[in-house]
Amino acid sequence: MFKKKNYILNCDVCDTRKMKEEEYSHYEQIMINADVVIVSESSKGMLNRLPVTLNHDKMVELADGVEAFVKTVSGSYEITGETGDAENTILVVDGNLMIEPETEEILKKYVEIVVNGSIKYPKSLSGFLNRMTINGSAKSYPDDCVMLDSEFVMDKYFPLRAKEGTKYYAENTVIIKDKDVDSAKLAAKNIRFITQKLILPESKVEDCAVVFDERVEFVVFSDEMELVYGDTLLNETLVATEGGCILVYGNVELDANADMNNLCNQIEKLDVIGSVTLQAEQEADFKKLDAKYKELIISKNNLKMKNMPRVKIDKSLFDNAPEGIEVSNVAKVVIEKDVTPEMMLEKLTVMNCALISCSAEQESAVQAVAVNVGKVGRPFENENGIDDIGGVIKRLSDTKMVNADSYVM
């Protein structure tokens, strides 16, 4: 007797509006796993009649005759006054989304926006958030400000280029590293900053007290110190560039090839507002520097995956990383079914990620090893809350499987 096939579709966006029932009625089971599913009134009826298991984050309904455009972006994306996306665009961003002010008419072109990462938007456009699915943080900023990097390092040319009477916005921190920055010129131009924290040399405090209001946290360092902002590698090159008195506002990793005798002779003072990571054999020599730091970490020889839009973790990755896996600053992390909870608890660390996609069996282990993660999801959970893909696949002896970024059925 003829045995019916099964059908599995894995994609970011699935458009069902053109599907024909007779082309799918011969399948015993149909499973659609998608971030966004586009339906029409007629295709919804077909999906209900067919043996379909539908796993999705968002369903968008459009008329049959409406042409929709799908745009997928791996990495950061900006919507500006010059963005030329077409009407009825569905935008999927595996990364961070930045929206500029006065982009109302452009935002109206989008049927749906899915962001697997963070989003920044002007306060006046907060009403458009109901058109979006955001697997991460959403933060607004003042419309009347010029946007700067969230961690803005001011160089000596900024006071010359800054426009008189302008407000500038940096979400987290403004850093004045260069002591040649003319802070008095900022005050004279009536420049104002909106931010949370200012890091600056002691000699700049008086001028900057006028430019930054009393709600801003001032972090002041001595003029004798050279500031290194952010995580850095400590070696002879850094000392040659910055000098012997260094303040690191971040974490430090000691270069495995560093000449510790040279470093001890060249470094007069080292302060670290963060952790120091080094090899076990470097610990004794490093402590001769009498450095200040929050934590000393003995390094593991683990696999590091960071600053990527998307990462897939499977059993083979664990097999080739005996010292473990460290994932950080990734928009979307996909944990494959062959990864056991025991593997993750023993060898996995996940930090600062927007979305971790995993099964129900993996979820508690993921939560145990995850730090500062926006969402831990079950990508194959059906409408009844049952994570049933494992059982389905076990029963599939003859399956057609389709994997795509976007797919029209």
Residue 378: pLDDT band (50, 70, 90) is low
Cα 186 to Cα 163: distance, rounded to the nearest angstrom: 9
Cα 263 to Cα 292: distance, rounded to the nearest angstrom: 15
Taking residues 182-201, report their average pLDDT.
Answer: 95
Q: Are strands 245-249 and 226-229 parallel, antiparallel or unpaired?
A: parallel
Residue 402: pLDDT band (50, 70, 90) is confident
Q: Which two tokens stand for residue 188?
A: 């004279």
pLDDT of residue 384: 42
Enter the DSSP assignment of 294.
S
pLDDT of residue 130: 86
pLDDT of residue 192: 96
Taking residues 15-33, report their average pLDDT.
Answer: 90
Find, among 11, 135, 34, 343, the residue nearest to 335 by Cα. 343
Q: Over pLDDT 90: what percentage of the chain?
A: 53
Cα 131 to Cα 60: distance, rounded to the nearest angstrom: 10
CB atoms within 10 A of CB 241: 10
Residue 276 near residue 296, CB atoms below 8 Å: yes
Residue 278 near residue 296, CB atoms below 8 Å: yes
Answer whether residue 318 shows pLDDT above 80: yes
89-109 residue pLDDT tens: 889 898 899 999 889 999 999
pTM of the model: 0.61
Residue 367: pLDDT band (50, 70, 90) is very high
Answer whether residue 385 shows pLDDT above 70: no
Answer whether residue 241 shows pLDDT above 50: yes
Answer whether residue 403 shows pLDDT above 90: no
Answer whether residue 311 shows pLDDT above 80: yes
Contacts of residue 342, defined as CB under 8 A and 6 or more positions apart, other chains included, come to 365
Cα 44 to Cα 103: distance, rounded to the nearest angstrom: 33
Phi-psi region of 272 (alpha: psi -120 to 50; beta: other; left: phi over 0): beta
Taking residues 192-219, report their average pLDDT.
Answer: 95
273-283 residue pLDDT tens: 999 999 888 99
Answer whether residue 383 shows pLDDT above 50: no
Answer whether residue 69 shows pLDDT above 70: yes
Residue 209: pLDDT band (50, 70, 90) is very high
Contacts of residue 67, defined as CB under 8 A and 6 or more positions apart, other chains included, come to 88
pLDDT of residue 289: 92
Cα 243 to Cα 266: distance, rounded to the nearest angstrom: 8
Cα 112 to Cα 130: distance, rounded to the nearest angstrom: 9
Measure the CA dihedral 329/332/333/338, to 10°. -170
pLDDT of residue 77: 93
Q: Got the DSSP string for 232-272?
A: EEESHHHHHHH-SEEEEES-EEE-TT--HHHHHHH-SEEEE
Answer whether residue 327 shows pLDDT above 70: yes
Find, among 381, 311, 377, the residue nearest to 348 by Cα. 311
Answer whether residue 392 shows pLDDT above 50: no
Cα 335 to Cα 359: distance, rounded to the nearest angstrom: 8
**To the nearest whole number, what is the mean pLDDT of the chain?**
88
pLDDT of residue 6: 87
CB atoms within 10 A of CB 71: 17
Q: Which two tokens stand for residue 221?
A: 């360092």
CA distances (Å), origin 358, targets 242, 313, 382: 45, 10, 14
